[in-house]
Structures are given as C-alpha cells and as structure tokens.
Amino acid sequence: MSTPTPELFFRSINAFHLTQALKGAIELDIFTAVAEGATTAKALAEKRQASERGMRILCDYLTITGFLTKANGAYSLTPDSAMFLDRRLPSYVGGSVEFLLSPMLTQSFDDVAAVVRKGGTVVSEDGTMSHDNPVWVKFARAMQPLAFGLAQTLTGPIKLDPNKKTKVLDIAASHGLYGLMFAQQYPNLEVVAVDWANVLEVGKENAAKFGVSERWRALPGSIFDVDLGDGYDLVLLPNFLHHFDPPTIEKLLRKIHAALGEGGRVVTVEFVPNETRTEPPQSVTFALVMLASTANGDAYTFAEYEKMFANTGFSRSEIVQLPVSFEQVIVSYK
C-alpha cells in the first residue's frame, strides 16, 4: 500500500476551477479558434481580443485537463474537443452550459450539507419541479445536440409496425426529439407531446424543422393533470421519473397504463445505477443532482423501476443498454 496523500482531497475541493475554466473557454470560443488555425497563445489572444498571458495560462490548463494537446508551443484539439467543442459543427455541445450552469442548478449545490440534512432541495419547495419553471426552456434549447444522438439510437431497439397507424405519447417532451425521431421514421405515426406550454414552443419548432408538424400535437400542462386520451401504442418517458418519489411515480404510471392500448409499451430513458449504487458514475452522480435540485427525486435502480411498473399493472419490464449513452432504457409492457 502506498503512503496516504491529501492529493485527491485538494484536487477535488478545487474541482470548481475546472468548471469555471471550461466555461470561460467556451465563452471565449477557444476551441473553434484553434480549429480555425489560431494555435499559439499569441494567435488566440489576437483572434479573441484577449491577453496573451491569460490565453497561455488557460490553454496550458486545458492541456493538462485533457481538452487540448501542446507541442512546440502550439495547441491542438483532441478528437473529443474537435467533435464536440467546435461551434461550427452540429455536434457542438458547448451550448449545454446555459442549462448545466444555470443559476437554478448551480444554486442547488450551494449548501450540500443543508440538502443532506433535509433530504431534498433547499432552493425552494419544489426546486426545478415548480410549474412552468423557465429552466426547462433553457434545457430544451441547450441539451438538444446531446439528446439528438440518444433519440436517434432509441429507434434501433424499439421497433414498430411501419404499416399500422401508430399513436405515441411523448411525456416531458421538451425539445420533442424523442417523439420526432419516431415520427420521422414511421410515416403513419402521430405524436402527442406533453410539457409546459413555454417548453413546447421548442418542440413545435423542431417538428416543423423535421417536416412532421401535421403529425405532432402539443398538449400543454402538467402530466399529472391533463387528459391524455387513450389507445397509445407507445409512451415515451425520457428523463422524467427521476424527479419524483415512488408514490408519485406509481400515480403517474397508473394514469399511463390506462392511456395505453392493448400490447402497448412504455419506454423509460433514465440514469439507472446498479443494485449496489456503485456504478455507473454518471447515474450515481445524477442521484446527487436530483437530491440537490428536487424535493424527492432520485436515480432508481432497475429493481426499483421494475417494482413500480409491476405495482401499477404492467406485465413485465426489461432493461436495454444503448450503444453510446450514459443512460439506460427500460421497456415495460402493458
């Protein structure tokens, strides 16, 4: 065993440096500038009207944290940075900073000790779950590029009959991409999208962009209150159940069960930790985000979800690991 050191503690307590430096790099749009050929601190400083000394120190830091490489005083993009941090590309994810570092989410973490004492958010009574919270408009716009890849892969394992008229309910639809990917693939498919009215404006724009506006309908309001109708073949539940406690989830699942037609399925997209809650790290971290930002949310295990679906009338649930995602998919059958 090696001698104990306080290295991990100091690196971790100072981790906010990394958040803030990366936010600064995104704001200065350094990665696009490097992609465009400004590869030295001097060239970057000129291109971005910044100090050479500041650019050199920040880019050296971005080098040791894995976002750039450095050779002979010139910086280059890593494959990840070239794909995801060049603002000119559709795969650019830097816009997610608007949501991930929105005051709502950063303030949630201001007093983690108080959050742990209380067992839920201390920002407000409902945290991010308050009615028409504008953070979800930010989410819809900022997280689209990331959701796009995930939504596309979802149509792989979830097969539908292309010849049959199909009705899909997209819950907490947000940018609408999950339902829209199915609408794009299946010409006889109609989507009903539920979310706050302000958020559904983003989904409506995307429906037009994908040319499926006539088969995409907005149903604004709280999923717990609106009349869903019935006869759905597929209900999409992407990134929604984690905001609530099991009794609230079961209340919702009963309502969904009633709205599903015979042979219908629910597709839940979630951060699902393993049964001991020790991996994957993204899911374990996500539980902390829910603790800090909601009254009762959590990252539930598959066994917990399986039980909630069974309690509310579903015949069986199965877990599907998507090829490239931190999230898991649970398919539950009526």
Rounded least distance, CB 311 to its own copies, Å: 20
Kindly indicate which of the ranges 52-60, 166-174, 185-193, 222-230 contains the residues binding its own copies, using the contact rule CB under 8 A: 52-60
> What letter does residue 235 receive in the DSSP assignment?
E
Q: Which of 227, 197, 222, 193 has the alpha carbon at shortest distance from 210?
A: 193
179 binds its own copies (CB under 8 A): no
Q: Which stretch binds its own copies (CB under 8 A): 117-125, 155-163, 172-180, 309-317?
A: 117-125
Based on the shown chain and the rule CB under 8 A, indicate whether residue 28 belongs to the binding site for its own copies. yes
Q: Which region among 57-65, 198-206, 233-241, 246-254 touches its own copies (by CB under 8 A)?
A: 57-65
Does residue 63 interact with its own copies by CB under 8 A?
yes
Q: What angle do CA 302, 304, 307 make, to 5 degrees?
A: 105
- Positions in 5-24 near its own copies (CB under 8 A): 5-10, 12-24
Residues pairing with 330 in the sheet: 268, 319
Q: How far is the CB of 31 from its own copies (least distance, A)?
A: 10
Considering the rule CB under 8 A, would residue 90 count as an interface residue with its own copies?
no
Show the tokens assigned to 297: 């949310």
CB of 117 to its own copies, least distance (A): 4
Number of residues counted as binding its own copies (CB under 8 A):
85
- Dihedral sign, Cα of residue 153, residue 209, residue 199, residue 232: negative
Residue 103 touching its own copies (CB under 8 A) = no
What minimum distance in Å lies between the beta carbon of 18 and its own copies?
A: 4
DSSP E strand stretches across the chain: 68-71, 74-77, 166-171, 189-195, 216-220, 232-238, 260-270, 316-321, 328-333
Binding flag, residue 61, its own copies (CB under 8 A): yes
> Which residue in 215, 239, 238 sits closest to 293, CA to CA?
239
Region 257-286 residues binding its own copies, contact defined as CB under 8 A = 273, 276-279, 281, 284-285
Q: Is 302 an interacting residue with respect to its own copies (CB under 8 A)?
A: no
The first and second tokens of residue 69, run together, are 């490489």
* Distances from the Cα of 280 to the Cα of 160, 188, 276, 291, angstroms: 30, 37, 11, 17
Residue 255 CA to residue 23 CA, distance in Å, equals 41
Peptide bond into 280 cis (omega under 30): yes
Q: Nearest distance from residue 20's CB to its own copies, in Å? A: 4
